[in-house]
Amino acid sequence: MSLKSSNKVDTNVWELEVSVDGDTFKDAVTKAYLKQRKNITIPGFRKGKAPRAFIEKYYGEGVFYEDALEAIYPDAVASAIEEAKLEPVDTPYDLEIPEMGNDGVTMKFKVTVKPEVELGEYKGLKATKKSTKVTADEVKAELARMQEQNSTVSDVDDRAVKKNDIVVIDFEGFVDGKAFDGGKAEKYELTIGSNQFIPGFEDQIIGHKIGDKFDVNVKFPEDYQADLASKDAVFKIKLHGIKVKEVPALDDEFAKDVSEFDTLDELKKDIKKQLEKRKNDDAENELHNTLLEEVAKGIKAEIPEAMIEKTIDDDVNEYSYRLQSQGLKLETYLKYTGMDMKGFREGFKERAETQVRLNLAL
């Protein structure tokens, strides 16, 4: 395999021509024949027993060329790109095969490469570090988080649902008498008052008891996904269980249970100290990132769209993995939030552009 030519044909786009010698291609054709022969039937021969010459005569000399080309293509392309000393940012495209036969193969393809970058000003940049002062409300919020973390949940079976209860329900949604995608779940845990569902949904569960089967009537918001926006819906509900969350009291006993300290005051002082360190680290990181963003803004480069799209792909995949870890598919999330994939990806574009520019600058 050898690189025949390498020419820049557009901004950040190169066209490469590579040749594969006859011996290499014939070897690939032989391997393709050996791989496929067991599945080939020729009149007069048992399946898989026809000699190669008969197969090529019957189906044509190039019967195995496509599979042979598929086998040698990755190495040929990689070798050509390496020999041309290019840094591709996307997969090659516009493949052409001017020649292919016993004498070998000639292929042409285009590849988008990393752009040339000219740095702007990167010395003497200024940014303001945020305040790291910790307020009493922040300490209070951290204590509340610790209370929540150490709360317990117990079942209730002697009363109806009240606000702040956790209910376990089956539900299925219908519009115009027909069930819609993403509107069904079993043994779903929902905190009443969390506003997790459509407005009015949770309020209609209040007052029901375990075992009740009932309807919840709601209207989808105007900004919901297009096929459901502004439509009336009926959800069939079955109430399986009621749970209550018990939050521990803030006192010295709580401090002993959740920390190494004997009193609540000692715990509060330590929380303030930890928050100050965290806020200082965050402020330092933000300061650092702000300066780097200024560097990124200052570069001069014609950035290929493929670099931005690949970064968006990575961000979307990471978001999808996080949702999956919570038991939710991205498609379901998009339906609940009324977004389509195009709009969802658009939300990552600005950050992706900044990240690409920053990587190029660095």
Q: How far apart are CA 335 and CA 225, in angstroms?
A: 6
**Residue 264: HSE in the Cβ half-sphere, 13 Å Cα cutoff:** 14
Domain with CATH 3.30.70.1050 in the chain: 2-112
Q: How far apart are CA 343 and CA 339, in angstroms?
A: 6
Contact 80/16 with Cβ under 8 angstroms?
Answer: yes
Question: What confidence score (pLDDT) does residue 48 get?
Answer: 80
Structure-block tokens of residue 113 = 């490469």
**Alpha carbon of residue 39 to chain centroid:** 40
Residue 46's identity, in one-letter code, is R
Q: Packing angle between helix 264-298 and helix 136-149, nearest 10 degrees?
A: 110
Residue 114 sits at the vertex; the CA angle it makes with 112 and 119, to the nearest 5 degrees, is 145
Structure-block tokens of residue 60 = 């044509």
Structure-block tokens of residue 250 = 């803030």
- Residue by residue, pLDDT tens for the chain (362 residues) are 789 999 999 989 999 999 999 999 999 999 998 988 888 888 888 888 888 888 888 888 888 999 999 999 999 999 999 999 999 999 999 999 999 988 999 999 999 999 989 988 888 889 999 999 999 999 999 999 999 999 999 999 999 999 999 999 999 999 999 999 888 999 999 999 988 888 999 999 999 999 999 999 999 998 888 888 889 999 999 999 999 999 999 999 999 999 999 999 999 999 999 999 999 999 999 999 999 988 988 899 999 999 999 999 999 999 999 999 988 889 988 888 888 899 999 999 999 999 999 999 98
Q: Which value, in Å, is the radius of gyration of the alpha carbons in the chain?
A: 32
Residues 6 or more apart in contact with residue 295 via CB below 8 angstroms:
119, 120, 122, 125, 358, 361, 362
Distances in Å between the Cα of 251 and the Cα atoms of 215, 262, 288 are 44, 10, 40
Question: What confidence score (pLDDT) does residue 345 get?
Answer: 94
Statement: 2-112 belongs to CATH 3.30.70.1050: yes
Residues 6 or more apart in contact with residue 215 via CB below 8 angstroms:
234, 235, 236, 237
Domain with CATH 3.10.50.40 in the chain: 152-246
Q: How far apart are CA 298 and CA 293, in angstroms?
A: 9
Q: Which residues of 60-89 are buried (b: 16+ CB within 10 A; e: fewer)?
A: eeebbbeebbebbbeebbeebbeebebebb
Residues 6 or more apart in contact with residue 93 via CB below 8 angstroms:
109, 110, 111
Q: How far apart are CA 199 and CA 340, in angstroms?
A: 22
DSSP H or E segment with residue 171:
strand 166-175
Residue 92's identity, in one-letter code, is P
Question: What confidence score (pLDDT) does residue 339 get?
Answer: 86
Question: What confidence score (pLDDT) does residue 51 get?
Answer: 86
CATH of 152-246, one of 3.90.480.20, 3.90.1150.10, 3.10.105.10, 3.10.50.40: 3.10.50.40
Question: What confidence score (pLDDT) does residue 224 get?
Answer: 86
Residues 6 or more apart in contact with residue 132 via CB below 8 angstroms:
276, 279, 280, 283
CB atoms within 10 A of CB 338: 17
Between the CA atoms of 346, 350, 356 and 357, what dihedral angle is there, to the nearest 10 degrees? 150
Token pair 């290019």 in the structure block, residue? 86
Contact 307/197 with Cβ under 8 angstroms?
Answer: no
